[in-house]
Chain A
Amino acid sequence: MTNPMNNLLNDLEAILVLEMADDKLFLGHMQSDWTGLGPILEEDIASSSMAQDDLSHALVLYEYLGNRFGLDPDVIAYEREPGQYLCCDLMTVPDEFNWATSLVRRWLFTHYAAPVLDRLALFEDKELVERARKLRAEEALHVEYLDDWMRRLGSGSDEACDRIQKAIGLLSTHAGMLFELPGRELETDESFCCGRSELFEEWVGNTNGVLEQAGLTMQVELPDMETVGGRSGVHADHFTATHAEMGAVRSADPGAAW
């Protein structure tokens, strides 16, 4: 008897899609905390819109995986064990309602998401390609918007620079783990199109370009293969807490709908 979830979790291509879906599910969940609390009205709307985008992008990708492996997208999203989630723990670092932390997190991630979606759009599976292209077009809005904020704050008051630079310091230690490989065999697998070191170089180039314009600095190293984290299902406590909170309604009332 084959288990659809195990099939999914053992398929290299599916794992790439699942990483992106899980990142976006948790980022969208975390960012939703800010709805109604943005520092100005336009930013509140923008932040909530991006959270809405991230959650819907997660759904579009879970639906793809659901169609392919015969699973309900909600089951993929909510009914895995914590160790079966492949998101990077950058997503669940508490932002303590510090706007700079929220902004830098989204900025670090969107520069990762955009080139990964570009790569997913080069796969052979037509259904995946169509979905990745749609999401990539929408992700471009996040890149542009968040780049603009980084430049504005970097060239703003001393306090703005100081806050944003501190947020970069806090989150850059987690950002390298976006590029963690979920399993050693992937290092040499050419079908694994992402080529993590190339992806990392692209990310460093794009983020550094903005940081230079903003007068900000960041140091991120590509983690070695021995370092395991979220992509391997080994999560920090803040992930576990967020996971429990996110699934609270579903675990209390599994059939709940609204």
Chain B
Amino acid sequence: MVSDNQHIDAVHAVLKGIPDPELPCSIVELGLVEEVRVEEDGRVHIVLLPTFSGCPALDMIGKDVQQKVSALDCVSNCIVEWTFEPAWTTDRINEEGRASLARHGVTVPPPGEPFTGPSTTTLRTSAIPCPWCGSTNTRLDSPFGPTRCRTIQYCDDCQNTFEDMKRLAPGGGDD
């Protein structure tokens, strides 16, 4: 009989190998996995956070997780849930994820910079170090990029575009 911890380790190992279909990262590196819970009968609950509510990859990710975790011998059934609380932000992307994104020309705002107020965007509009040449002579080209979570930026030195992940303040309510 394997312990719950061994169960959880096995599930985490599987999750680490599940890619986001639109980014060069795993869902663990992106910080989408909020909770893994193992029941006594071998059922596994996995709680995931959507990056953006309209991300078309969510269904694919959910099915991928369900199939690959269910295939483990120690798992009798896998239940995937999506939740909006806590809200996903780019602060959840880990070091491996940031390094992998940088290699593919996608920058990520540093974690922990305070949000400027309730319900405001904090899109970066200038001086992001270019992932191709390092110049900070860069500017926002378009706040809407190839996917919901990225802006398009332009480097005036190497004249290449790159993408920057959007760091949104949780909206509404009291904060």
Within 8 Å CB of A50, what residues of B?
A: 144
Evaluate whether A53 and B53 lie within 8 angstroms (CB atoms) in the complex, with A130-B83, A141-B121, A145-B144 already known: yes
B6 at the A/B interface (Cβ < 8 Å)?
A: no
Within 8 Å CB of A57, what residues of B?
A: 53-54
Within 8 Å CB of A56, what residues of B?
A: 52-54
- Complex CA gap A42/B174 in Å reads 34
- Complex CA gap A90/B39 in Å reads 50
B170 interface neighbour in A45, A49, A122, A133, Cβ under 8 Å: A133
Within 8 Å CB of B83, what residues of A?
A: 130
A145 interface neighbour in B84, B119, B143, B173, Cβ under 8 Å: B143
B168 at the A/B interface (Cβ < 8 Å)?
A: yes
Q: Is A53's CB under 8 angstroms from B54's CB?
A: yes
Q: Is B152's CB under 8 angstroms from A122's CB?
A: no
Q: Is A137's CB under 8 angstroms from B152's CB?
A: no
A137 interface neighbour in B56, B141, B145, B170, Cβ under 8 Å: B170
- Complex CA gap A136/B146 in Å reads 21
- Complex CA gap A20/B85 in Å reads 21
Closest to A129 in B: B173
Within 8 Å CB of A118, what residues of B?
A: 119, 171-173
Closest to A44 in B: B144
Q: Is B166's CB under 8 angstroms from A140's CB?
A: no
B8 at the A/B interface (Cβ < 8 Å)?
A: no
A32 at the A/B interface (Cβ < 8 Å)?
A: no
Closest to A137 in B: B171
Interchain nearest-CB distance for B173 vs A (Å): 4
Bin the interface of chain B by size: 20 to 34
B79 at the A/B interface (Cβ < 8 Å)?
A: no
Within 8 Å CB of A114, what residues of B?
A: 119
Within 8 Å CB of B38, what residues of A?
A: none
Q: Is B171's CB under 8 angstroms from A121's CB?
A: yes
Interchain nearest-CB distance for B76 vs A (Å): 26
Within 8 Å CB of B121, what residues of A?
A: 140-141, 144
Q: Is B173's CB under 8 angstroms from A121's CB?
A: yes
Contact residues, B158-175 vs A (CB, 8 A): 166, 168-174
Evaluate whether A135 and B171 lie within 8 angstroms (CB atoms) in the complex, with A130-B85, A141-B166 already known: yes
Evaluate whether A133 and B87 lie within 8 angstroms (CB atoms) in the complex, with A42-B152, A141-B121 already known: yes
B94 at the A/B interface (Cβ < 8 Å)?
A: no
Interchain nearest-CB distance for B147 vs A (Å): 9
Within 8 Å CB of A53, what residues of B?
A: 52-54, 148
B52 interface neighbour in A121, A136, A138, A140, Cβ under 8 Å: A138
- Most chain A CB within a 10 A radius of its CB, from B56, B142, B146, B152: B142
Within 8 Å CB of A86, what residues of B?
A: none
- Complex CA gap A146/B144 in Å reads 12
Within 8 Å CB of B170, what residues of A?
A: 133-134, 137
Q: Is B172's CB under 8 angstroms from A136's CB?
A: yes
CB pairs A–B below 8 angstroms (22 shown): A42-B141, A45-B142, A49-B144, A49-B148, A52-B56, A57-B53, A118-B171, A118-B173, A120-B172, A126-B85, A129-B173, A132-B171, A134-B171, A136-B119, A137-B168, A137-B170, A137-B172, A138-B171, A139-B119, A140-B168, A140-B171, A145-B144
